[in-house]
């Protein structure tokens, strides 16, 4: 059965949710960033990493989500099979990887974005990150107007957005109340039994 290497509350929560939605057996292994255990399966020392039984390893959240949705078409988590539906899947996966996730890095790890070690310099990097993150939530909120899910039907892309929405809810001024459609997506996902199972597992319950 596949093994998912995850860190608590991280972007690895997305494939963790998707594996629960699929419902086939899998193992979830909690790891620390940069630990020898994680470095052995992902030289970047980052999560998520998926390992198949034969030892094949896949990294990058977007690739793992796409792989899982294609491996399990019966779970209907791709957002649709038409040319344009597939393009929308790739579009929003790229948005979450390159725009949304990347916007959080200066917030989480300001020291990677300035060589100035002063608290003041780092606070400025965090503030710049907040502006960037707000921009991405505004884009997502606009897209979600009148929609239940990001694609056509519940998909891996909603799972991908979920951990990032949780970060925004916790870290941003306003706690995302400025983005009611994003909050509605959060609440819809948070009410999902599979998502609750993952949240329980990740919090050690």
Ligand X SMILES: N[C@@H](CCC(=O)N[C@@H](CS)C(=O)NCC(=O)O)C(=O)O
Q: How far is the CB of 160 from ligand X (least distance, A)?
A: 9
C-beta of residue 63 within 8 angstroms of C-beta of residue 156: no
Q: Please, which of residues 75-94 interact with ligand X by CB under 6 A? A: none
Helix (H) or strand (E) segment spanning residue 156 = helix 156-171
Q: How far is the CB of 146 from ligand X (least distance, A)?
A: 29
Name the burial class of residue 112, with classes exposed (0-12), middle (13-18) and buried (19+) by CB atoms within 10 angstroms of its CB. exposed
- Give whichever of 48 and 79 is closer to ligand X, judged by the CB atom: 48
Q: Does 33 bind ligand X (CB under 6 A)?
A: yes
Dist. CA 96–CA 81, nearest whole Å: 20
Segment 110-117 long-range contacts (CB within 8 Å, at least 24 positions apart): none
Q: Does 46 bind ligand X (CB under 6 A)?
A: yes
Q: Does 96 bind ligand X (CB under 6 A)?
A: no
Taking CB under 6 A as the binding criterion, the range among 21-29, 41-49, 50-58, 86-94 that sits at the site for ligand X is 41-49
Binding residue count for ligand X, defined by CB under 6 A: 12
- Give whichever of 60 and 178 is closer to ligand X, judged by the CB atom: 60
Taking CB under 6 A as the binding criterion, the range among 40-48, 84-92, 152-160, 197-205 that sits at the site for ligand X is 40-48
Name the burial class of residue 121, with classes exposed (0-12), middle (13-18) and buried (19+) by CB atoms within 10 angstroms of its CB. middle
Q: Strand 57-59: give its sheet, edge to edge.
A: 27-30, 3-6, 49-51, 57-59
Q: Does 68 bind ligand X (CB under 6 A)?
A: no
What are the distances in angstroms from CA 77 to CA 2, 73, 74, 83, 182? 18, 7, 8, 16, 19
Among all residues, whose Cβ is closest to ligand X?
A: 46
- Give whichever of 90 and 147 is closer to ligand X, judged by the CB atom: 90
Chain residues binding ligand X by CB under 6 A are 7, 10-11, 33-34, 45-48, 60-61, 97
């Amino acid at each position: 059965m596949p093994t998912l290497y995850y860190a608590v509350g991280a972007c690895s929560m997305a494939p963790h949710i998707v594996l629960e939605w699929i419902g086939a057996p899998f193992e979830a292994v909690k790891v620390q960033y940069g630990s020898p255990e994680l470095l052995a399966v992902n030289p970047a020392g980052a999560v998520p990493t998926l390992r198949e039984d034969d030892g094949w390893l896949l990294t990058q959240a977007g690739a793992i989500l796409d792989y899982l949705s294609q491996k399990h078409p019966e779970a209907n988590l791709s957002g649709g099979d038409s040319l344009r539906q597939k393009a929308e899947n790739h579009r929003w996966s790229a948005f979450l990887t390159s725009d949304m996730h990347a916007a959080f890095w200066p917030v989480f790890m300001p020291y990677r974005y300035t060589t100035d070690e002063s608290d003041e310099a780092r606070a400025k990097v965090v503030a710049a990150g907040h502006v960037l993150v707000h921009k991405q939530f505004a884009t997502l909120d606009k897209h979600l107007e009148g929609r239940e899910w990001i694609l056509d039907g519940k998909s891996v892309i909603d799972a991908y957005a979920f951990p990032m929405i949780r970060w925004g809810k916790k870290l941003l001024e306003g706690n995302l109340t400025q983005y009611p459609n994003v909050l509605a997506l959060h609440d819809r996902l948070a009410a999902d039994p599979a998502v609750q199972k993952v949240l329980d597992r990740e919090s050690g319950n």
